[in-house]
Structure 1
Amino acid sequence: MNAMEWMQTLLISGLCIPSFCADYRQHCLIETPKSWFDAQSYCRERGYDLATIDDMGAMKSLLGLSADKAHDELWIGLHYGGHKEWRWSLADKDFYQEGGRKYRNFEGSSETEMFVRQHNGKWYTGGIWTQLFFICYDGNRKGGERYVLVSKAMSWTDAQVYCRSTHTDLVSIRNPEENQAVATAIDELNVWIGLFKYGEHWSDGRNSSFRLWSPDFGVLLPQNCAVMTGRTSGRWRQRSCDELHPFLCTCTRKRVLKVKVRLEDIQELNDPAMNTAILNQVSHNSH
């Protein structure tokens, strides 16, 4: 056989061509109760980690996985890590352009307070028991109607639950123009916005800001880790990390795609035309 005509099988995941390398995130329910740190070790020893939850789609998948364990509290990968950062309640990564997550307009803040309020365009911190009016963001509306003022005093965590159930979330402010739009919407009132300080982190280091706390919990306290429970439709609670619970591992696997290419094309795998040809063959082979 002529070398120019020779065909070989290419393992795309092995070559790691960016267009074709993909992780498929699955979850495994481990029913043997363990402490949070023992559960973390169990997952990691098998090349996995405790489950990170990125959005409501992942939550629905986990609820289906644990349907027959509806009354169990299951460890997930969220734990108190000590290092505190400011984060927006609205977790959708596509909502923020570069730098949008980092916009701040603080006039005053306290190290001991973990939630943020806006007054006359300036930001201040507030405590967990403080009751204020608040402003929601509604992604289904346009212009200034996206900012929905709720004239009912609530704690920050209760305001978050309200906004998520009736609109999209507590408002995020990504730039000076949006900060002014919110200031106009609330007039001179003192209201909660969606920024909060947290000390919890995901075991695998992922940067997901998605949270689904039960209404009576809002942030993790030191020495605590997070469980999800079927008793509250999967909402999360915090428990001492030393308690024993079943747990969820995130079992990420590489999907291997096998395609055939000519030997002389191996040096051209980054060429767009070659990528298109590979995709066409993968599509053909999958039918």
Structure 2
Amino acid sequence: MNAMEWIQTLLISGLCIPSFCAEYRQHCLIETPKSWSDAQSYCRERGYDLATIDDMGAMKSLLALNADRAHDELWIGLHYGGPERWHWSLADEEFYQEGERDYRNFGAMDNTSRYVSHIYGKWKTVDHAQLWFVCYDGNRQGGERYVLVREVMSWTGAQVYCRSHHTDLLSIRNPEESQAVAERFSRYDVLIGLFKDAWHWSDKRNSSFRHWEQDSFVGLFPQSCAVMTGKGPGRWSQRSCDELHPFLCTCTRRLVVKVKVRSEDIQELNDPAILKQTQKLLNEATLSNHHKVAWRTNSDGQVFTKEQCQEEDCTEREQSQDLCNIE
């Protein structure tokens, strides 16, 4: 049963879904060429910011927006500088539970290296390595999700391959997954999806999503900023921040949906596990990857409340749309 069928079953069987708020990001293209800092100021003066791109779903939306101007290079909100941080190539928030983004299992580390390989159950840092690699495939089950690719590639080349043929480079989120990967590939020195960089988003979001051209870094310099290029599909590259380019702003809007249906057990429905699962399924069924769903709580702190209503009123659905406070 897919997510939409599951939610329809909930409604028919008498479970109720109260108001929820979905914050979603929209992008607008500004065609007047500006430097990166002037583009940032332009967006912020209007209550927006330069575009942050969270995942491949957002990238596809941007490619559609820029379909008629695919030859242009467009500023996005990513700029070089500040502290280096470790990120996973697979950026989707729903993929990680609390603390899983920060799981580490290093055996050897060189602070000057930017990428990570896995061997004998431990991680080691590597730089510009040419190695086999492991992809993660979300459409498979169990150990089959971990796909060993016996081709020698750089880390960025491996990322491009995994995103084209599977889901992404492998993330290892907890000790159990670390053990599973060690059992399958322990004797191989293979690249995984962890990388370190000093690129930061203009709006301070901690999105780890990167979509660079393969091996695009000839050298980094302090005034480097990122453009979305016309090279397929919309790969990013670094440019001097003083160059003049059109640019993309991001604004945040809120979609408020209210649903009322019958329910016999309000207390059970307020169980955090049920709320979390229903929220996840709503996101999958009705929203794109870059929507963010949150429950609206009542004055008593509960999501679900009991009210008296006529039978025909209990299945009424109301929908409204308004602007959120811009982040």
When normalised by structure 2's length, the TM-score is 0.72
Structure 1 unmatched runs, 5+:
1-17, 259-266
Deviation at 1:217, TM superposition (A): 2.5
CA distance in structure 2 between the partners assigned to 1:60 and 1:154 by the alignment? 26
CA distance in structure 2 between the partners assigned to 1:114 and 1:28 by the alignment? 33
CA distance in structure 2 between the partners assigned to 1:285 and 1:64 by the alignment? 26
Matched-pair contact (CA < 8 Å) for 2:20–2:256: no
Question: Any idea what SS the aligned residue of 1:104 has?
Answer: coil
CA distance in structure 2 between the partners assigned to 1:176 and 1:257 by the alignment? 39
Q: CA RMSD in A?
A: 2.9
Partner AA of 2:37 in structure 1: F
Choose 23-32 or 163-172, whichever is displaced more. Answer: 23-32
Which string of whole-angstrom CA distances, capped at 9 and with x for unpartnered residues, describes residues 74-109 of structure 1? Answer: 001111132111111111111111111111111121
Partner AA of 2:231 in structure 1: R
Superposition pairs of residues 1-287 of structure 1, within 5 angstroms: 19=19, 21-128=21-128, 130-217=129-216, 221=220, 222-254=222-254, 272-273=304-305, 283=318
CA distance in structure 2 between the partners assigned to 1:142 and 1:219 by the alignment? 39
CA distance in structure 2 between the partners assigned to 1:156 and 1:41 by the alignment? 34
Matched-pair contact (CA < 8 Å) for 1:157–1:218: no
Is the alpha carbon distance of 1:239 and 1:122 closer, same or farther for their aligned partners in structure 2, counting shifts above 3 Å?
same
Deviation at 1:270, TM superposition (A): 6.2
Is the alpha carbon distance of 1:106 and 1:269 closer, same or farther for their aligned partners in structure 2, counting shifts above 3 Å?
closer
Question: Any idea what SS the aligned residue of 2:104 has?
Answer: coil
Question: Any idea what SS the aligned residue of 1:184 has?
Answer: helix
Deviation at 1:166, TM superposition (A): 1.2
When normalised by structure 1's length, the TM-score is 0.81
Is the alpha carbon distance of 1:106 and 1:268 closer, same or farther for their aligned partners in structure 2, counting shifts above 3 Å?
closer
Deviation at 1:199, TM superposition (A): 0.9
Structure 2 unmatched runs, 5+:
1-17, 259-297, 322-327
CA distance in structure 2 between the partners assigned to 1:220 and 1:180 by the alignment? 37
Partner AA of 1:170 in structure 2: L
**In the comparison of the two structures, how many residue pairs are matched?**
260
Question: Any idea what SS the aligned residue of 2:43 has?
Answer: helix
Whichever of the two has the greater Rg, that structure is 1
Is the alpha carbon distance of 1:105 and 1:218 closer, same or farther for their aligned partners in structure 2, counting shifts above 3 Å?
farther
Partner AA of 1:227 in structure 2: V
